[in-house]
Structure 1
Amino acid sequence: MSNSAENRERILERLYNAQQYGRDAYIPQKKVWNIKNQSKEKNIEEFTERMTAVRTEVFRTKGTEWVGELQKLVEERGQKNLLHAPATPTGKALAANWGKDSSCKLVTWKESIEEFKDELFDCDGAVTGCLGGIAESAAVILWPTEEEPRLMSIVPPLHVVVVEADSIYTSFQDAIKKLKWNKEMPTNALLISGPSKTADIELILQFGVHGPTDLIVFITE
């Protein structure tokens, strides 16, 4: 009998004996979450502080002012284009308020990746919305869709995320509860905390290995 077969028989025997002699199975203790939800301003303060600590640029604006601020930033940095999803609220706001004479041109996401592949990899940056932010872990919550796919936040070297101030939650548990994930769980929810980074190579921290080298977050009221 092979070792794997012997191990299987031993495990089954222990389970059978436990059932025969009425031994109670081990039940781990339920962990109690005691994180108290903070005020909106406190959430924004901690979110900004912790996001900045992981090399994310965070700006706070009102309404669609973020569009003008973003336009200034990318023009100063000499970026030639910016990808957006025209069917989303964020994409619509961007297109409606972007300067016509800007040196940075808007690129529209196309549904067919095969047709859009070359253009996608030529984009300097991309703008997406999000479900919200988490103050405790300094992260934004992305829920990619067909209109705003995951590739937009992976391929371009710059990722710009627009988050509503009212949608910055104290903790992940707070976000799950208020977003009602018990009724509609996202199929591909993502938590992004800062630019892509890794220290796998000789324990030296490198940015942009698996995604964008820069992350900009606009908090809007």
Structure 2
Amino acid sequence: MSARNAILKRLRERLDGPLSAPESDFTVATNRGWSEEERLARFERWIGSVHGEVVHVDEARWTEALAGVLADKGVRRLALGKQHPVAAEARSALADADVELVDVDRDIEQWQREQFESVDAGLTSTRGAIAETGSLWLWPTPDEPRLISLVPPLHIAVLDADTLADTFFDVVEGHGWADGMPTNALLISGPSKTADIEQTLAYGVHGPRELVVIVRHAGDSAGISR
């Protein structure tokens, strides 16, 4: 008898009876009914549980928060786009700062080595986030290619507080993915991490080892003091 058949025979002859599939609920996860404050709290709790950092700030002062993050993390070379408002505002605010702004609208073959070896951080906008899983969702463009969020050791993402959705299904439905599904959407739920057979987590092995989310609040908001 082969090893495979011997294993199957032992499973079939279990003393406590044959194995049966557990009951499963495949209902679409939606209609959570959370308030904006609840969504923010859930998002921050889940992304924080995997070493993601969250900074709350009034939207009018978010570039000050960005400058603070860059100083705290010792960032000297920051990769970012040009056209998106987040990138444009960051470039204007950091024009006189001691940070080199690295253009990303180049063919990857022209600056692949530079990106992997000498860029300290990448800055991106986000399209929104998912409260249920603590995930950001990005829709990369030529102005903000996906590699600036996947390669540098630090990813800084700018999120508007009012773009949080309850669940992934709510994102798909609310943004009409059935009619125009993005070809390159990214779901980011923390820094890059992997584990060995003993379940020991290591961060930054296959991508950024740090993730900082700057959450912008419209006007005065109690959420800023979180």
Q: What code does the residue aligned with 1:120 have?
A: Q
Deviates most, 113-122 or 136-145: 113-122
In structure 2, the partner of 1:19 is: none
In structure 2, the partner of 1:137 is: 133
**Quick check: 2:129–2:135 contact (8 Å CA) kept in 1?**
yes
Match for residue 71 of structure 2 among 69, 75, 85: 75
Structure 2 length-normalised TM: 0.79
In structure 1, the partner of 2:55 is: 59
Instruction: Give how far 1:202 is off.
Output: 4.5
Alignment of 1:42-191 (within 5 A): 42-98=38-94, 100=96, 102-121=97-116, 122-191=118-187
RMSD: 2.0
**Quick check: 1:144–1:188 contact (8 Å CA) kept in 2?**
yes
Query: CA separation of 1:187/1:96 partners in 2, compared to 1, >3 Å: closer, same or farther?
Result: same
SS of alignment partner, residue 179 of structure 2: coil
Looking at structure 2, the residues matched to 94 and 176 of structure 1 have their Cα atoms a distance apart, in angstroms, of: 29
For the pair shown, which has the larger CA radius of gyration, 1 or 2?
1
Structure 1 length-normalised TM: 0.80
Q: What code does the residue aligned with 1:136 have?
A: E
Q: What code does the residue aligned with 2:109 have?
A: E
Looking at structure 1, the residues matched to 124 and 148 of structure 2 have their Cα atoms a distance apart, in angstroms, of: 8
In structure 2, the partner of 1:22 is: none
**Quick check: 1:51–1:193 contact (8 Å CA) kept in 2?**
yes
Query: CA separation of 1:170/1:112 partners in 2, compared to 1, >3 Å: closer, same or farther?
Result: same
